[in-house]
Structure 1
Amino acid sequence: MDDKSETMLVLGATGQQGGAVARASAADGRRVRALVRDERSAEAQALAHLGIELVPGDFREPTSLERAMAGVHGVFAALPSSADAQYGLTDEDEVRFGLAVGDAAKRAGVRHLVYSSTIGANPDIGLGHYASKWHIEQYLRRSGVPFTIVRPAPFMELLLYPHFGLRQGVLTFFGAPDQVVQFIAVADIGAIAAKLLPDPTHPLGVTMDIAGDALSGNDIAAAISRATGRQVPYLQIPIEAAAQNPMLARLLEAMSNGKLDGRADLPSLRASHPGLLSFDQWLAAGHAEEIRKLLPLLRAEVGFRSDRIRP
């Protein structure tokens, strides 16, 4: 039976994914607990105003994880990584945090741990934050913890970052112009995970690619052009430019080889989550206006600078 009095703990609740899961769970009438480093931060207080319980803790302190997990039914974990430059973390830090979460969940008797990894997690790609997530996945599979691994596609919100060239009036991304890649809105990660956490019918021990739409670079540029009324061309990151940045070069190679396209079952996901956003719907939900504000009044010469991109 689905008991909404059972508590769900969200790790990373002041970040994009965790915040989306916490809000979606609270909106569904769930009891939600959020692990936060600073209860006074604006992000934490915004959660508290939704009736979400704040508990102080840190991934660096395993005992705080166990305290936060005491008596909870499910845990959602989105971990900071080396790709989040503001945290100053290494790939080894991320792995250590992931293992600590798995260990704490097992000791606390958590009945469902939902871990957010990434589409394409694999050590062979040659990128540390893809390998670190893969190592955490392997650990969870050996741990005995009841788990689901979700692998989100690239966020649609990435296009709001100026690194992708919109301030120069051109959309730059890793795929070829006609290469179809899956994407997901951050809010939909929240909706999917919030539904998975308490679902007694969901099979445990599975890994799911999750996405909301599949588009080529040209498709994305055309949709942005329609929604903003501004002509936005698409430019794949040039190989010679990416070669100046080893991380970019490996990402471009992985994308070119189809390793990051995503294999989410979109029809099944849409059947289970009717509100899943297409890219056009995401634009119509206010993001087209955000993108319009990024576009220059007059389009600059189309070009690419590798120092503008931080994967």
Structure 2
Amino acid sequence: MRSRRTSQVDEAILDATDGELNYMYRDKTILVFGATGQQGGSVAGALRANGWRVKALVRDTKTDKAQTLASQGIETVRGDLADVRSIQSAMAGAYGVFSVQPSSGQGAAYGVTDDDEIQYGKAVADIAVANSVHHLVYSSVNAAGPTKTGMGHFDTKSELEEYIRGLNILHTVIRPSAFMEILTLPGMGLDKGTFTFFMRADQPMQFIAVEDIGKIVAGIFADPTKFGSQTIEIAGDTLTGAQLAEKFARTAERPIAYHRFPDSLLEQNAFLGGLARLVDQGRLAGSADIAALRKEFPGLLTMDEWLTGAGRSALLAAIQADGGDVALR
């Protein structure tokens, strides 16, 4: 029986989960950045499902994506990464913060420079310290590290990692591998019976389903003693180019051949060429300990499992309508 004290937010989640809600974290709030995007949305949903109170900083609370968050019992607050006061207001009283920023690697449509990303990331971290936030989780990239990559939107994350480590705050850095979702973006050739990507046919590369980022981050917030002050590379599966094409062909029930992006294209396009170089070097191919991750965070999706769910519809849609530019993140 529901208590009269149950809030409207909790009521919404109880309705969505047939009354099953973990109340362990109901008095603790996590502020999630990027909640209308893939990573932040996954994190916000997973945290709310685990019983946390969740706030999401959004530019417009009336958009469809913001309304979807609200329907999940997530409190949306209007703000902007360029507006420090809005961040301060949203973060007041928060127990934890999930920090992810837009980057130049997402394309010109976002209008974000590398300097912007660094400014936003540092501002979020500084405000978290000023507000005595208990736990800051920052999402970086698996290519990050002390040695520069030569790719601006990766090196920004390395800089932000080091900045956060120097602050007086309990923190965890996650380094996701490439998203499974990027494999069905336009420009991969799927409508022509091929799949084109960065690794060679026999070269392994790691991937993670975006929904699993939420699972992992929820697990990290649930156990700050175990995961505090750690940098964790995360992935759900490792596959070669040929293996990916074979799985895609089996799912689509049609032949699909694998090809690496042509050398001529990689030479002409500095962005794509840089990504391919980092895959060849192993930094973007990934080195997560997937077996250990599965023990810590049960239920991480393999590529086969992803292709039986959300990945299947995405793959079939890409086969039916392909074309356009390719972007890794």
TM-score (norm: length of structure 2)? 0.88
Report the counterpart of residue 278 of structure 2 in structure 1: 254
Instruction: Tell me whether 1:181 sits opposite 2:205 in the alignment.
Output: yes
Report how far residue 288 of structure 1 moved: 1.7
Q: Which residue of 2 aligns with 1:140?
A: 164
Work out the CA distance in 1 between the residues paired with 2:124 and 2:296: 28
**1:42 maps to what in 2?**
64
Deviations 1:150-195 (A, max 9, x none): 0000000001201222233211111111111110000000110112
What CA distance in whole angstroms lies between the structure 1 residues aligned with 2:257 and 2:202? 13
Q: Which residue of 2 aligns with 1:281?
A: 305
**1:217 offset after TM fit, Å?**
0.6
1:227 Cα deviation after fit: 1.3
CA offset digits 1:242-293 (Å, max 9, x no partner): 1111111111111112121211111111112221100000000142233123
Q: TM-score when scaled to structure 1?
A: 0.93
1:114-193 correspondence to structure 2 within 5 Å: 114-122=137-145, 124-193=148-217
Q: Quote the offset at 1:36 in angstroms.
A: 0.7
Alignment partner of 1:309 is 2:316: no
Match of 1:60 in 2: 82
Tell me whether 175-184 or 160-169 shows the greater mean CA deviation. Answer: 160-169
* Equivalent position of 2:248 in the other structure: 224
- Contact kept? 2:278, 2:285, Cα under 8 Å: no
Structural mapping, 1:56-95, within 5 Å: 56-85=78-107, 86-95=109-118
Letter in 2 for 1:125: T
Partner of 1:100: 123
| Aligned counterparts, 1:181-220, within 5 A | 181-220=205-244
Aligned pairs, number: 304
2 CA distance for matches of 1:293 and 1:37? 30
Give the stretch that moved more between structures: 101-110 or 56-65: 56-65
Distance in 2 of aligned mates of 1:293 and 1:100: 39
Instruction: Identify which of 250, 253, 266 aligns with 2:290.
Output: 266
Per the TM alignment, residue 219 of structure 1 is displaced from its structure 2 partner at its CA by 0.8
Instruction: Report the 3-state secondary structure (helix = DSSP H, G, I; strand = E; otherwise coil) of the residue aligned with 2:56.
Output: strand
Structure 1 residue ranges, 4+ long, deviating more than 4 angstroms after superposition: none
